[in-house]
């Protein structure tokens, strides 16, 4: 191990690094979670045009990460069928391939533990969208017909929120007022106040929603 470190140190002065300056990169390099690899290795998903020298310079110049070796391979995606009618009929296609590179690091990297509370990442909204997409794909008349129908769960949720606001209107404030923006654009607030008075008047007369 010490011998390899000495050889790397001797070669460090002779390694040529890329001199091309990239200010607004148009590519995405994604670090992949690989629990089966040792901490000495890390895997990245890179563009198809990326080569080993590009990734080596990227890690060194952006993150200061030293690299000993890199292995790369192109992963073919499975053949799928484009379905436009929701019935499994359509042309056959193969999605764009993905390129992955496994890097041997000079210093080991250990992934942090996966967070158990995913509230900050809006996990509930993600799951709700997944359920909605699955229901749309399994609809008897296709996703288009399913999208035209109202979402009954959301309608009930909005109705409950409206009842809570009407029951205690003092506890609710619009966003611009909650942020302390009452002093800004006072001239623009006059039409809003007139509309609010008109809505309140219609509400008292029982004309709202007709």
Span 166-194, pLDDT tens digits = 888 777 777 777 766 655 555 554 555 55
- pLDDT band (50, 70, 90) for residue 114: confident
Question: For residue 72, which of 40, 104, 96 has the smallest C-alpha distance?
Answer: 104
Which architecture does CATH list for 2-105?
A: 2-Layer Sandwich (3.30)
> Are 175 and 184 contacting, i.e. CB atoms less than 8 angstroms apart?
no
Six-digit token pair at 192?
Answer: 């809003």
Residue 177: per-residue pLDDT: 72
- Residue 99: HSE in the Cβ half-sphere, 13 Å Cα cutoff: 14
Query: Model-level pTM greater than 0.85?
Result: no
Average pLDDT over residues 101-129: 88
Distance CA(86)–CA(90), nearest Å, equals 9
Q: Are 58 and 29 a contacting pair, CB within 8 Å? A: yes
> What CA–CA distance (Å, rounded) separates 59 from 105?
10
Domain spans, the chain: 2-105
* Residue 104, phi then psi, degrees to nearest 5: -90, 120
What percent of the chain shows pLDDT beyond 70?
Answer: 67
Structure confidence at residue 13 as a pLDDT band (50, 70, 90) = low
């Amino acid at each position: 191990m010490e011998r390899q470190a000495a050889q790397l140190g001797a070669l460090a002065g002779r390694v040529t690094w890329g001199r091309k300056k990239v200010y607004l990169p148009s590519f995405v390099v994604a670090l992949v979670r690989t629990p089966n690899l040792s901490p000495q290795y890390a895997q990245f998903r890179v563009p198809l045009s990326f080569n080993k020298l590009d990734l080596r310079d990227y890690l060194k110049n952006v993150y200061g990460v030293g690299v000993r070796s890199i292995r790369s391979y192109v992963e073919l995606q499975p053949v799928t069928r484009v379905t436009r009618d929701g019935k499994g009929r359509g042309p056959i296609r193969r999605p764009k391939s993905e390129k992955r590179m496994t890097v041997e690091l000079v210093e080991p990297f250990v992934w942090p533990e996966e967070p158990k509370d995913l509230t900050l990442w809006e996990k509930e909204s993600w799951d709700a969208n997944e359920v909605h997409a699955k229901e749309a794909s399994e609809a008897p008349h296709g996703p288009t017909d399913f999208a035209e129908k109202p979402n009954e769960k959301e309608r009930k949720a909005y109705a409950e929120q409206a009842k809570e606001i009407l029951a205690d209107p003092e506890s609710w404030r619009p966003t611009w007022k909650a942020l302390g923006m009452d002093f800004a654009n006072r001239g623009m607030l006059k039409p809003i106040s007139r509309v609010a008075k008109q809505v309140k008047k219609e509400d008292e007369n029982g004309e709202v929603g007709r």
